[in-house]
Amino acid sequence: MSEETITLEVTRYRPGHDREPRAQTFSVPYRKDWVVLDALNHIKDRTDGTLSYRWSCRMGVCGSCGMMVNGVPKLTCAAFLRDYHPGPIRVEPLANFPVVRDLVISLDDFMEKLRRVKPWIIREVEKPVAEGEYLQTPAQLDLYKQFSMCINCMLCYAACPVYGLDPVFIGPAAIALGYRYNLDSRDEGYRIRQPILTEAVGVWDCTFVGECSVVCPKGVDPAAAIQRSKVAGAKEWFMSMLLPWGGR
Amino acid sequence: MTTVPRRDRPGFYYPKPPATWWLRRPNYVLFMLRELSSVFIAIFLVLLLVQIHQLSQGPAAYAAFVERLRSPGWIAFHVVALAFALYHSITWFNLTAVVQVVRLGERQVPPRLVAAANFLLWGVVSLVILFFFLLGG
Amino acid sequence: MPAEEGYRHDLLVVGGGGAGLRAAIAAAEESNRLSIAVISKVYPMRSHTVSAEGGTAAVMRENDSLDTHAKDTIFGSDFLADQDVVEAFVKEAPGEVIQLEHWGCPWSRDPDGRVSVRPFGGMTVNRTLYAADKTGFHMLHALFQTSLKYDKIVRYDEWFATSLLVEDGKVCGVAALNLHDGQVRPIAAKAVIICTGGAGRIYPFTTNAAIKTGDGMALAYRAGVALKDMEFVQYHPTGLPGTGILMTEASRGEGGYLKNKDGYRYLQDYGLGPPTDKPVHRKMELGPRDILSRCHIQEHLKGRTFEGPYGDYVHLDLRHLGEKVIDKKLPFVRELARNYVGIDPVYEPIPVRPVVHYMMGGISTDISGKTSLDGLYAAGETACVSINGANRLGSNSLTELLVFGARAGRAAARYALERPALRSNPIAQLVSDERKRLDQRFLRADGRERIADIREEMQNAMEKGVGIYRNQAEMKETCETLRKLRERFAHIGLADRDAVFNTELIAALELECLLDVAEAVAHSALAREESRGSHTRTDFPKRDDARFLKHSLAYRTPGGSRIEYLPVTITRWPPEERKY
């Protein structure tokens, strides 16, 4: 008996040669414990060495292998063939991003935005290392922990129609990470960071579709981070209207 | 840290979302419905303002206005508007659960419980209003 | 210099993982007159540090002492660690983990707000800090995000360093391939720090990510620098069969049991008992990794392991810990086991087997990360500064990349400040030669050998010859196979000739590195006629301090590695029998 196979429809795009992406069909062995990434590796090793995509840890933590699988943003190292049986399975580059080649998208925009939200501890005075750690109770840790779980896999950007329509939006992951530092009891940078999060292309661009949180593989819930930043921003604006003379 | 500038090369393919992007996923459709609901709710509110204005114009004018609202078209509109208002309210209360972190001492109250409390409050207020309405009617 | 001619910095870090980022930040803080660059073949937050789970060792509590940490490390290393280096390491470890705390790393906390510590294999007291079981992930992201605030650190993301540029016996930068346009350009620098991590991919079954191909080790090896102690390859006792995904040692630190197919905690039969319900330091499941991996093979030989489609396995049983502890302390273990083997550890034991995890060996450096080549430094798993010796203790590697990443960063910065400006002409010539080499070797060649075939045969040969148990005949065969594979590699053929994001070309360059590193491992192992730490020979089952209390140094020659030896530094802990 010949081995059972499953069909993958993979997006190909050769810069300089193709005007736009096209789909190429590959047939790969169907194994129940294979993920979509295993199938792509099989194609690269055995069928077509020119197929380009990113991958590394194959355990869902490095964030490299995000792609659209049947139209949904997924980490392909965690998308099992068996869940798409009998196929065919459509594999495309993450939506909303410029395509560099085949399944490889450009991250330049996100890298710039991540830096813009200042995702680091800001202190008025740094405590010397010799004086030991900042004390932080488990409850204080819990406040921000969830938002520190972001692996920058970009699935949330691929799911966000606002980002797709207008890429100036800072976007879910970067806002969630900025918010994470705002919540950290060790941080004193709220006054610097919050205006960046609440600027025109920041949280107020979000129309709360909520799909970012649905596709997040790490339960970060960036939508919640954005909405909570909106509430905080609105509260502050309201207070400043009520108490225009109030200090900072 | 700075990154070496990488000029956008002409080789990049920039995808453009089609006008039908919102049909791609169920959540997008629900989102668009929620956006659309505001149109109906706005019309309803304008109508309410007109109604109050008519009240100030004397009983006859008011009666005529109310009579006009009895037409099948307006009734249909109100049914749709009510459906949208309910849909909007339900999604709104679910949303507040996500947005508003409620803490009891060390522990965060589960968002579901916050939503449930919202719905309970909403139900109670609705019942009170209904009670006064029936009392007055 | 215009872009076509390349880029110029004072200090260049190759690799953007934990060690590389720590080095770059240390250099930036050492002097604000330096231009610092980080080149990495992946975006820094994709680096393999991200996969580390269990924790980071440092003396944090009153019941602990630097001497105990040093003693545990030296004992674990089977006395092959350099003791002066270990002493510096344990001394600087607490400061480094606190520094990382100040940079936002979300260490797990005790109720009083202090960072928590957990037990770990081979350690006498609780000294392993952790961020649940995603310690490496949180450390890497804290380092990366902190690095973003330094304007003078310039990043070259998705550039692959293909060779070191050496002129007059001094490093003057690297030739690097930009994945985004396929061009090879010089990145000139007065000092270069290699921080490219390990090389687990020389084996078929490893916890290591796809990118762990020993690139930096190969760069140094080809430039004439020795690779030290390469025969010492750590097998982690608990990886998932098939994928090799790591089930952290913290799962045993928190009290997990290893059981054979009869449900028996078999480690008690190998001198690690007595079994207790609660974990006891250095006993049973908290024994060191080399010993636990050997016990697994012994159990298999006795026919007491399970047989599965991906080889024999035993059970890692966490059920008695309960859902609450598992979710709080080991959430990633639960997530991985559920996703990849469909098992919820709250209700079922997890199938595990030993899997290649870590290279104790690497680029030979001194205590400051300096190599024998002027201007070249190395830190992290890619280096061998000799704190791990013949077997690394779990949770020492994350600390190592902090302590020695920072040391290398500071040392290289001071070196770069003193060195006069580089000359452009020789650099341009060196890079032009490198372009020609890559062109002829890969992009114009029409060989018929496939990357995947050679890689697979190499991996299988390594597992067979230099796995957990080794003997002379099989190691010789592996050395011979590697020699033939190198010949076949000369006839490699690529289907992809495009310039932009040519991942097939990268795979070929990586395979070339893997073959170099594999050669150094096999030849070093063949030459060491004793058993020590992770290097276990059936034909020489005893440790032989008279002949081999020394480091092996592998130098590249056309016919394979030439092996030399270097004495081990002993300060206060004379070698004794290693018994737990």
**pLDDT of A1 over the 60 cut:** no
Average pLDDT over residues C409-424: 94
Whether residue C412 is found in the same domain as residue C338: no
Domain-located, residue C50: yes
Nearest to A138 among C98, C109, C339 (CB): C109
> CB contact, 8 Å: A128 with chain B?
no
Q: Are residues A84 and A112 in the same domain?
A: no
Confidence of residue C146 (pLDDT cuts 50, 70, 90): very high
Judged by CB atoms closer than 8 Å, whether chains meet at A211 and B106 is answered as no
pLDDT at A248: 44
Write out chain B residues lying below 8 Å of C7, CB-based.
Answer: 4
Answer yes or no: do C204 and C116 share one domain.
yes
Higher-confidence position of B97 and C441: C441
Average pLDDT over residues A37-42: 98
Give the helix ranges, DSSP H, for C501-580. Answer: 503-527, 545-548
Shortest distance between the Cα of B26 and any Cα of chain A, in A, equals: 10
B3, A211: Cβ pair inside 8 Å? no
Same structural domain, A120 and A10: no
**Residues A99, A129 share a domain:** no
Q: Which domain holds residue A143?
A: 108-242
* Mean pLDDT score across all residues of chain C: 96
Does residue C182 contact residue C502 with C-beta atoms inside 8 Å?
yes
On chain B, the residues whose CB falls within 8 A of the CB of A98 are 8, 12-15
Residue ending a domain, among A66, A84, A105, is A105
Residues A90 and A124 in one domain: no
By Cβ distance, the residue of B1, B2, B6 closest to C180 is B6
Q: Is C440 inside a domain boundary?
A: yes
pTM attached to this predicted model: 0.94
Q: What percent of chain A has pLDDT over 90?
A: 86
Chains with 3+ CB–CB pairs under 8 A to A are B, C
Same domain for A120 and A136, yes or no, is: yes
Count of domains in chain C? 3
At C499, which CATH number?
Answer: 1.20.58.100
φ, ψ of residue C407 to 5 degrees: the values are -60, -45
Domain boundary among C354, C370, C404: C354
Write the CATH number for A87.
3.10.20.30
Per-residue pLDDT at B8: 53
Residue A189: is it exposed, middle or buried by C-beta count within 10 angstroms (0-12/13-18/19+)? middle
**CATH, residue A159:** 1.10.1060.10
Q: Do B15 and A227 count as a contact with CB atoms less than 8 A apart? A: no
Q: What part of C 394-423 touches A (C-beta under 8 Å)?
A: none
Domain final residue pick, C424, C458, C481:
C424
Instruction: Give me the mean pLDDT over the C193-210 stretch.
Output: 98
Q: Which domains are delineated in chain B?
A: 23-131 (1.20.1300.10)
Would you say residue A202 lies in a domain?
Answer: yes
What pLDDT was estimated at residue A246? 52
Same-domain check for residues C49 and C147: yes
Residues A96 and A115 in one domain: no
On whether residue C240 sits in a domain, the answer given is no
Residue A247 included in any domain: no
Write down which residue in A105, A140, A175 finishes a domain: A105
Residue C563 phi, psi (nearest 5): -105, 130
A12 touches chain C (CB under 8 A): no
Q: Where does a domain end: C354, C385, C416?
A: C354
- For residue C208, what pLDDT is reported? 97
Domain containing residue C43: CATH number: 3.50.50.60
Question: How many angstroms away from the CA of C438 is the closest CA of chain A?
Answer: 18
C575 within some domain: no
pLDDT recorded at residue B17? 86
Q: Closest Cα of chain A to B39: distance in Å?
A: 16
Q: Is residue A175 part of a domain?
A: yes
Look up the CATH number of the domain holding residue C322.
3.90.700.10
| Residues of C annotated as catalytic (active site), given as ranges | 236, 252
Residue B50 to chain C, least CA–CA distance (Å): 56
| Same domain? C379 vs C304 | no
Asked whether residue C574 is domain-assigned, the answer is no
**A160 & A40 share domain:** no
Residues A133 and A208 in one domain: yes
Tell me, yes or no, whether A168 lies in a domain: yes
Q: Which of A206-220, C189-203, C213-227 is predicted least confidently?
A: A206-220
Cβ(C412)–Cβ(C26) below 8 Å:
no
Residues C79 and C217 in one domain: yes
Residues C169 and C63 grouped into a single domain = yes
Claim to verify: residue C135 and residue C44 sit in the same structural domain: yes
Within an 8 Å CB–CB cutoff, is residue A64 touching chain C? Answer: yes
What are the chain B neighbours of A97 within 8 Å (beta carbons)?
15
Q: Are strands A72-75 and A66-69 parallel, antiparallel or unpaired?
A: antiparallel
Whether residues A42 and A99 fall in one domain:
yes
Residues ≥6 apart with Cβ < 8 Å to C538: C469, C470, C471
CB contacts under 8 A, C 168-187 vs B, are 180-181
Give A-chain residues touching B6 at CB under 8 angstroms: 108
Say if residue B1's pLDDT is above 60: no
Do A156 and A195 belong together in one domain?
Answer: yes
In a shared domain, residues C19 and C79: yes
CB A230 within 8 A of CB A203: yes
- Say if residue C52 is in the same domain as residue C180: yes
Residues C368 and C395 in one domain: yes
- By 3-state DSSP, what share of chain B in percent is helix, strand and coil, each rounded to 5? 70, 5, 25
Q: Are residues C208 and C262 in the same domain?
A: no
Do A118 and A71 belong to one domain? no
Summarize pLDDT for A40-64 with one digit per residue, the tens. 999 999 999 999 999 999 999 999 9
The whole-chain average pLDDT of chain A stands at 94
More confident residue, C5 or B118: B118
Whether residues A161 and A226 fall in one domain: yes
> Is residue C259 located within the same domain as residue C200?
no
Residue C185, in any domain of the structure: yes
The predicted pLDDT at position B9 comes to 62
Least confident of A210-219, C44-53, C408-417, C561-570: A210-219
CA distances from C329 to A79, C102, C142, C350 (A): 26, 22, 20, 16
Q: Does C272 score more than 50 pLDDT?
A: yes
Summarised one tens digit per residue, pLDDT across range C478-514 is 999 999 999 999 999 999 999 999 999 999 999 999 9
* Residue C576 within a domain: no
Task: List strands edge to edge, sheet with A66-69.
Answer: A22-29, A5-12, A89-92, A66-69, A72-75
Whether the predicted pLDDT of A241 surpasses 90: no
Question: Is A24 exposed, middle or buried, given 0-12, 13-18 or 19+ CB atoms closer than 10 A?
Answer: middle
Partner-chain contact A227 B21, CB within 8 Å: no
Total domains in the fold of chain A: 2
In a domain? residue C579 = no
User: Which of A73, A105, A137 represents a domain boundary (last residue)?
Assistant: A105
Determine the structural domain holding residue C89 and report its residue range.
Answer: 7-234+358-424
